[in-house]
């Protein structure tokens, strides 16, 4: 009986947590300049066992988002093994397709966590950084593959141009986005 009374609370908690993880736009998304929005496209991958996310924010706005590589609330495009090592040549993660208001944005930090018998171990970048890009109304911008690798304090992030793989997946997942409306702006 106690579980039944707590179900609404648990459902509300799950909905609130889902807001913390960025979700992809659906197949029906279309680029419309009059909406004042565009689409940011990036793949987030990892070869570390840590649960990883990148921190995204608007440069001149209060917008902030945690963009997860994998989580309970987002679907992976490249699955992570439950046990074992993730090979460097077969990273796991997903393609992120986010609709955002026109403007300038930046990935400015990241965080990883690993829970075990001794508690939770958190890793963060050693230095601050800013990886900026611009969202243009009516366009999609591909910013690259944000990849996390390493173990513990040696965990790091790099950006790689994986447009051939990622854009092919974008066009399958969101068929209303056409190649002529995609800008390339690999994060530097």
Note the pLDDT tens digit of each residue in 54-68. Answer: 999 999 999 999 999
CB 95, CB 173: distance < 8 Å: yes
Task: Render pLDDT for 125-134 as a digit per residue (tens, 0 to 9).
Answer: 999 899 999 9
The answer to whether residue 29 scores a pLDDT higher than 80 is: no
What pLDDT was estimated at residue 119?
87
Q: Which residue has the higher pLDDT, 6 or 59?
A: 59
CA 17 to chain centre: 15
CB 114, CB 50: distance < 8 Å: yes
Q: What percent of the chain has pLDDT over 90?
A: 64
Which of 74, 73, 156, 152 lies closest to 113, judged by CA?
A: 152
* pLDDT category of residue 86 using cuts at 50, 70 and 90: confident
Lowest mean pLDDT among 89-93, 99-103, 160-164: 89-93
CA separation, residue 159 to residues 111, 118, 141, 156, 179 (Å) = 16, 32, 15, 10, 22
CA separation, residue 140 to residues 21, 87, 113 (Å) = 20, 30, 31
The mean pLDDT value of the chain amounts to 85
8-37 average pLDDT score: 58
The answer to whether residue 83 scores a pLDDT higher than 50 is: yes
d(CA 68, CA 52): 6
d(CA 143, CA 131): 9
Q: Helix, strand, coil proportions of the chain in percent (round to 5)?
A: 20, 40, 40
The answer to whether residue 149 scores a pLDDT higher than 80 is: yes
Residue 57: strand, helix, or coil: strand
d(CA 135, CA 21): 20
d(CA 70, CA 120): 17
d(CA 77, CA 80): 9
Which of the residue ranges 31-40, 70-79, 98-107 has the most confident prediction, judged by mean pLDDT?
98-107
* pLDDT category of residue 95 using cuts at 50, 70 and 90: very high
CB 131, CB 109: distance < 8 Å: no
Q: Which residue has the higher pLDDT, 90 or 139?
A: 139
Q: Which residue has the higher pLDDT, 11 or 126?
A: 126
Q: Side-chain half-sphere of 10: how many Cα atoms within 13 Å?
A: 6
What pLDDT was estimated at residue 177?
94
d(CA 7, CA 41): 36
Q: What is the maximal distance between C-alpha atoms in the chain?
A: 57
């Amino acid at each position: 009986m106690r579980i039944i009374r707590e179900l609404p609370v648990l459902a509300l908690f799950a909905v609130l947590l889902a807001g913390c993880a960025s979700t992809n736009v659906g197949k029906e998304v279309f680029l419309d300049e009059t909406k004042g929005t565009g689409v940011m496209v990036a793949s987030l991958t990892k070869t570390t066992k840590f649960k990883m996310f990148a921190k995204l924010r608007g440069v001149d706005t209060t917008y902030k988002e945690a963009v997860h590589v994998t989580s309970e609330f987002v679907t992976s495009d490249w699955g992570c093994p439950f046990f074992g090592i993730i090979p460097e040549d077969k990273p796991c993660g997903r393609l992120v397709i986010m609709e955002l208001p026109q403007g300038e944005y930046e990935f400015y930090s990241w965080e990883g966590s690993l829970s075990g018998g001794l508690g939770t171990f958190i890793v963060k970048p050693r230095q601050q950084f800013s990886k900026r890009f611009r969202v243009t109304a009516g366009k999609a911008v591909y910013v690259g593959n944000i990849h996390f690798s390493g173990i513990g304090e040696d965990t790091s992030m790099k950006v790689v141009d994986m447009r051939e793989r990622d854009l092919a997946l974008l066009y399958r997942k969101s068929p209303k986005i056409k190649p002529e409306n995609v800008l390339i702006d690999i994060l530097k």
